[in-house]
A = this chain, B = another copy of it.
Amino acid sequence: MPPAANSSSGLSRLRRIESSRVFQTLVISIIILSALAIGAKTYELSPLANQTLTVLDFAITLFFLVEILFRFAAFPDKKRFFLDGWNLFDTLVVVGSLIPLENSDAVLLGRLLRVFRVLRLVSVVPELRFLINSLLKAIPRMGYIALLMFIIFYIYAAIGSLFFARVDEVLWGDVAISMLTLFRIATFEDWTDIMYVTMEPYPFSWIFYVTFIFLTAFVFLNMMIGVILEVMSEEQNAKQAQKAHDERDDITRQLHSVQAQLTALSKQISQNSEK
């Protein structure tokens, strides 16, 4: 048996293992275990429990390393492995948690990277992967609306900072902090407290707040409606086109047979007349 065929049959065996239910379930279980370990670390634990968690963390890191190597080995075209966003993400998370970190700041970073392991659940469960992909597809639709929203925020932040900076330095000090304050107002979070303060030097400043709330609510509402309509019309187009086609096909087929019958009839009459 030539080596190429051997390797190919080995690869297909690897892929069979990789896509098997047992392997998938094992990976998901380890990810959930990893998530629980991350959660457990936020509680105050006995030294023994802490040591157990350290060992567990090492074991999980090792498992993930082996798993990603295995998936790489099972991948048919090695060069294109990292072109898939999910593979790249998995590799980065795994490699990231391999780097040994000693000083206290780095420990925080290391633990942060471990948190992202939970996201691997998304890359492993196909339904979640599909969901995320469809959510990502919804983003460009919102592009120009987001830009418009940003312009509205920027203009109001500039105006707010221009007039109210001397009233409340903390909330309206500069354009950046003003945008955060406006985001707070857009969520209706204690916005009247902010308004009552600025209404003392500027009695008409309620116009600023009320128009801002109306504008953002109005633009947001229109964005939502726009997205609903777009998704809906896309789906309907696809579906109705299909259905209309099916229907028409049916009638068209019948009409063709009518025409065929007519042609036959015409021939029949011709033959009759020739006789």
A-side residues, CB < 8 A to B, are 35, 38-39, 42-43, 108, 111-112, 115-116, 118-119, 121-122, 127-128, 131-132, 134-135, 138, 144-145, 147-148, 151, 154-155, 157-159, 161-163, 165, 173-176, 178, 180, 183-184, 187-192, 206, 210, 213, 218-219, 221-222, 224-225, 227-229, 231-233, 235-237, 239-240, 243-244, 247-248, 250-252, 254-259, 261-266, 268-273, 275
Contact = CB atoms under 8 A, between A and B. Distances in A.
Nearest to A35: B154
A273 B38 CA distance: 94
Contacts of A254: 252, 255-256, 259
A258 to B, nearest CB: 6
Nearest to A225: B228
26 contacts: A35-B154, A38-B175, A39-B154, A42-B161, A43-B175, A108-B162, A111-B162, A112-B159, A115-B155, A118-B154, A122-B148, A131-B144, A187-B213, A189-B192, A228-B229, A233-B235, A233-B239, A240-B243, A255-B258, A258-B258, A258-B259, A265-B265, A265-B269, A268-B270, A269-B272, A271-B273
Given A42-B174, A131-B144, A262-B262, 10 more contacts: A39-B176, A115-B158, A119-B151, A127-B144, A128-B148, A135-B222, A180-B206, A189-B190, A189-B192, A261-B263
Nearest to A234: B229
Given A112-B162, A231-B229, A243-B244, A266 B266 contact: no
